[in-house]
């Protein structure tokens, strides 16, 4: 008997003498048969027997949607916040501008009043008695 044929015969003999191996191979065969039978009767139903897969899928979708919703609402909030800040800044700038223009108008008014009073004093104070006399003469 050749070496190869000795090795060939050894396979089956070893399996028979190895009870654990024999039992494992038998369980494996029956397990595959049971799985195949269930899957063959209704492939979709067989998949549904493993809820972990659908649970993982659902959890994945939920997480994805949550992240999407979070990033969208974050973006919306950020835009809204920026718009609010810009509005406040614009209102503050307008107020400052209004105050500055009011201050400028007040200063201009004061300056004009001063000029008016200066212009109103047409005769120097030292000449005032003479001017009075002239006014009296004219009235006569």
- The site for another protein (CB under 8 A) is made up of 4, 7-8, 10-11, 14-15, 18, 20-21, 23-40, 43, 46-47, 50, 52-53
Residue closest to 45 by CA, chosen among 32, 60, 55, 35: 35
Taking a C-beta distance cutoff of 8 angstroms, is the pair 17, 10 a contact? no
Between 40 and 124, name the residue whose CB sits nearer to another protein: 40
CB of 50 to another protein, least distance (A): 6
Distance of alpha carbon 79 from alpha carbon 105, whole angstroms: 39
Element (H, E) at 84: helix 51-120
Between 31 and 66, name the residue whose CB sits nearer to another protein: 31
CB of 68 to another protein, least distance (A): 21
Between 9 and 101, name the residue whose CB sits nearer to another protein: 9
CB of 1 to another protein, least distance (A): 13
Tokens of 96: 């400052």
Between 5 and 117, name the residue whose CB sits nearer to another protein: 5
* Residue 40, helix vs strand vs coil: helix
């Amino acid at each position: 008997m050749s070496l190869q044929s000795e090795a060939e015969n050894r396979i089956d003999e070893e399996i028979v003498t190895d009870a654990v191996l024999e039992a494992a191979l038998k369980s494996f065969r029956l397990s595959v048969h049971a799985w195949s039978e269930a899957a063959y009767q209704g492939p979709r139903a067989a998949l549904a027997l493993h809820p972990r897969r659908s649970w993982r899928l659902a959890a994945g979708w939920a997480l994805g949607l949550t992240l999407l919703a979070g990033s969208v609402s974050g973006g919306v909030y950020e835009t809204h916040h920026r718009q609010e800040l810009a509005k406040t800044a614009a209102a503050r700038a307008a107020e400052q501008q209004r105050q500055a223009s009011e201050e400028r108008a007040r200063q201009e008014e004061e300056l004009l009043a001063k000029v008016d009073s200066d212009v109103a004093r047409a005769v120097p104070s030292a000449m005032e008695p003479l001017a009075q006399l002239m006014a009296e003469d004219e009235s006569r």
